[in-house]
Structure 1
Amino acid sequence: MGRIVLVTGGARSGKSSHAEARVRAMPGVPVYIATSDPQDDEMRDRVARHRAVRGPGWTLIEEPLDLVGALDRSDGAGPRLVDCLTLWLSNHMFAGQDWEPEAEALTAALLRQQAPVVLVSNEVGMGIVPENALARAFRDAQGWVNQRVAAVADEVEFVVSGLPLRVK
């Protein structure tokens, strides 16, 4: 089994930068699996900034829904960075798809990977209880996804203010 690392934290905590550095330090050409599906100018700007900061030298796979397929197809191509599980989950929820079988398939896929996988995910359950049902459902689902991935991960890091804390 390859090395599985979950990097989680709040928005703008530095988790993506930390995860990118982890993947760059691994041997092989790094593979960036992007789960965003930019639907507006603000999100397209975010994607462009991420690409600019990341720089050249990465193989890019853009896959907003079929993360399991992207992992399986890229296994052996180099260490992979999945950025991020939060967008992947929201893509499934906004598409009206049942996220639970997808999360189960993801954990099974992670266990069969040969090349390392570093996954980025937001920790969304540390704030106030959202006022609407959709936001509460998303918060709960993200917590369950994070727990499932953390359970199969070799390492879990929580990033706060740019500083990684080893959890597992």
Structure 2
Amino acid sequence: RHQRDRGPEWANVEELRDLHNVDVTGRVVVIDCVTLWATNFIVDNDGDVELSLAQMKERFDKFTQQEATFIFVTNEIGLGGISPNDLQRHFTDLVGWTNQFIAHAADEVVLMVSGIPVKIKSSY
């Protein structure tokens, strides 16, 4: 229903891993969400965090070389306890390192806490 309710100016693209293959030149792009994107890598790479992170960084860099405005939505999953499950711990590490990488490249970073925006990084 939410897709049907969008105006015609919205285009929905579902790309599991290869965002860089989507031409977004001149557009405002919302990537929702980085955490789900990371899931695709860690599952496809049998839990290999280093390989997943390298692939995500490479694709992120290629994707964001396009002339566009990018908004990345992610989850801060590292604020909870430490899981006894190996894959969950590896996934938490992957998402945390990916978030750091994207935040470093971003002009602005906003953490939403209970619907309240908390500026973490600002370009002005």
Change (3 A) 1:95 1:107: closer
Q: Residue by residue, what CA displacement relative to the aligned partner does 1:92-128 show, whole Å, maximum 9, x if unpaired?
A: 1111263122222134235523110000011000000
Query: Is 2:70 the partner of 1:117?
Result: yes
Structure-2 residue corresponding to 1:51? 3
**RMSD, aligned α-carbons:** 1.8
**What residue is the counterpart of 1:104 in the other structure?**
57
Question: Which of residues 56, 69, 72 in structure 1 aligns to 2:21?
Answer: 69
Shift of 1:136: 0.1
Q: Share of identical aligned residues, percent? A: 34
More displaced stretch, 108-117 vs 79-88: 108-117
2:102 counterpart of 1:149:
yes
Amino acid at match of 2:96: G
For residues 153 and 100 of structure 1, what CA distance do their matches in structure 2 show? 17
Letter in 2 for 1:75: T
2: distance between equivalents of 1:92 and 1:107?
13
CA contact (8 A) 1:107 1:148 kept: no
User: What TM-score do you get using the length of structure 2 for normalisation?
Assistant: 0.84
Unaligned runs of 5+ in 1: 1-47
2:111 alignment counterpart: 158
Between Structure 1 and Structure 2, the one with more helix by share is 1
Query: Retained in 2: the 8 A contact 1:107–1:152?
Result: no
More RCO (CA 8 Å, sep 6+)? 1
Structure 2: gaps spanning 5 or more residues: none
> Following the alignment from structure 2 to structure 1, what is the Cα–Cα distance between the partners of residues 111 and 67?
24
The CA distance in 2 between the partners of 1:92 and 1:112, in whole Å, is: 21
CA deviation after TM superposition for structure 1 residue 68, in Å: 2.1
